Amino acid sequence: MKNVTITGWGRCIPQPVVTNDDLATVIDTSDEWITSRSGIKERHISHVSNSEMAALAGRRAVAAAGLQATDIDYIIVATCTPDRPIPATAAYVQAKIGAVRAAVADINAGCTGFLYGLSMAHGLIATSMANRVLLIGSEQISSYLNLEERSTAVLFGDGAGAAIVEASNDESGIKSMALGADGSGAQYLTTSGLGTEQIGTGAPRAIIMDGAEIFKGAVVRMGDGIVAAAKDAGWELDEIDLVIPHQANIRIIDAVRRRIKVDESKMFINIHKYGNTSAATIPIALAEAVDEGRVAPGSRLIFTAFGAGVTWGAVAFQWGDRTEPISTTDDELPEPTRTGLEILLARQEALNR
């Protein structure tokens, strides 16, 4: 079977920032509560559509791989916050970046979406159905928040990350992969007021989460996933160079680390800056880790996630030789005209109307 690797990476973080102190001006909460419970200090709130963030992250990944958009055979967007239910967000991305040859589809595996997408990209490439897949994790989860539900409103943020997935001509790439799900846990993380079952019922929009169940599940599945992925790849745990975990909560990441006894320096953490961006956390973190020099040629990486479904997954991945982008793009998002808090408050006003 072909080795399948990542040759391009990119991320898009929308400019508007909402700090914990900003949130505390409109929600009965505090920087101390949010920081101690989650590790989050601030999050970004998008002033553009989800597909616009996804498209910019995608353009950056295409450039980093030294490709043109017309080289892409398939675009997969992992998201649970599509611009619209119809069409797929990937269709908007295709048009925005000019990837006219690409097939397009979205997938929803909650916060595990990027790893599910990676498994699909792997299958497409390994069977020669596609040569180059643009895989994006992108979320505008702030649109689902209800500021009156303070236990979830403080945890999430917006952003996008992207990867070019293609066949490798060396030993780099996916070394092992295991995904799982337990649909009987669907109620632990779901939404109210959205989706065909709920439209027109008058149910208020919100994210509904059983924090304790999600916490327990995430620690066990992400921790055990790292151990299994390393074992299947033939790696000892101390041979892992960097774990890139889903950024849901610093306490989950710390508990995972203690469970498997991996050194703190080997866990990549950026949740303090972005909050939980769901399917986007791993590709954002990967792109950041590469750009910050945390990934070296041949680095042994583990990606691990847990999310709505409930779903989970872990991937052992050996980085290739190149840690510099082949090319870059000057494209940027437009300048925002409102602050992040103004965007959140305008949505809340519409919700309460």
Radius of gyration of the chain (CA): 19
In DSSP terms, 173 is beta-bridged to: 318
Among 31, 35, 37, 185, binds ligand ACO (CB under 6 A): 37
Distance CA 206, CA 139 (A): 15
Q: Catalytic site residues?
A: 111, 246, 276
Q: Does 223 participate in binding ligand ACO (rule CB under 6 A)?
A: no
Instruction: Convert residues 162-191 into a mask of x (bound to ligand ACO by CB under 6 A) and - (unbound).
Output: ---------------------------x--
Q: Which stretch binds ligand ACO (CB under 6 A): 72-80, 209-217, 319-327, 329-337?
A: 209-217
Q: Which residues of 266-301 are buried (b: 16+ CB within 10 A; e: fewer)?
A: bbbbbbebbbbbbbbbbbbbbbbbbbeebbeeebbb
CA-to-CA distance for 228 and 128, rounded, in angstroms? 28
> Nearest-CB residue to ligand ACO?
211
Q: For residue 87, is the peptide bond before it cis, meaning its omega torsion is within 30 degrees of 0?
A: yes
- Contact range with ligand ACO by CB under 6 A, out of 43-51, 114-122, 169-177, 247-255: 247-255
Q: Which of 96, 150, 272, 322 binds ligand ACO (CB under 6 A)?
A: 150
3-state secondary structure of 332: coil
Is 66 among the residues that bind ligand ACO (CB under 6 A)? Answer: no
Indicate whether 344 belongs to the interface with ligand ACO (CB under 6 A).
no
Rounded to a whole number of angstroms, the minimum distance from the CB of residue 310 to ligand ACO is: 8
- Give yes or no for residue 111 binding ligand ACO (CB under 6 A): yes
Question: Six-digit token pair at 224?
Answer: 């055990």
Which segments within 79-204 are labelled E, that is strand?
Answer: 103-107, 132-139, 159-167, 173-181, 189-192
Q: Which residue lies nearer to ligand ACO by CB, 99 or 214? A: 214
Query: Which of these ranges, 42-50, 56-64, 126-134, 147-155, lies near ligand ACO under the rule CB under 6 A?
Result: 147-155
Segment near ligand ACO (CB under 6 A); pick from 7-15, 158-166, 207-215, 338-346: 207-215
Pairing state of beta strands 74-78 and 132-139? parallel
Closest CB to ligand ACO among residues 40, 130:
40
State the SS3 of 187-245: HHEEEECCCCCCCCCCCCCEEEECHHHHHHHHHHHHHHHHHHHHHHHCCCHHHCCEEEE
Nearer to ligand ACO, 37 or 96 (CB): 37
Sketch the per residue contact string, 290 through 309, with ligand ACO: x for CB under 6 A, - otherwise. ----------------xx--
The string of DSSP codes covering 35-64 is: HHHH---EEE--SS-HHHHHHHHHHHHHHH
For residue 30, the 8-state DSSP code is -
Sign of CA dihedral 104, 306, 40, 141: positive
Q: Among 180, 185, 193, 211, which residue sits at the site for ligand ACO (rule: CB under 6 A)? A: 211
Site membership for ligand ACO, residue 154 (CB under 6 A): yes
80 binds ligand ACO, rule: CB under 6 A: no
Taking the CB of residue 203, how many other CB atoms lie within 10 A of it? 14
| Distance, CA of 94 to CA of 50 (rounded, Å) | 13
Smallest distance, ligand ACO to C-beta of residue 33, A: 4
Nearer to ligand ACO, 18 or 154 (CB): 154
Q: Which residues here bind ligand ACO, judged by CB under 6 A? A: 29, 33, 37-38, 111, 150-151, 154-155, 189, 209, 211-212, 214-215, 218, 248-249, 251, 276, 306-307
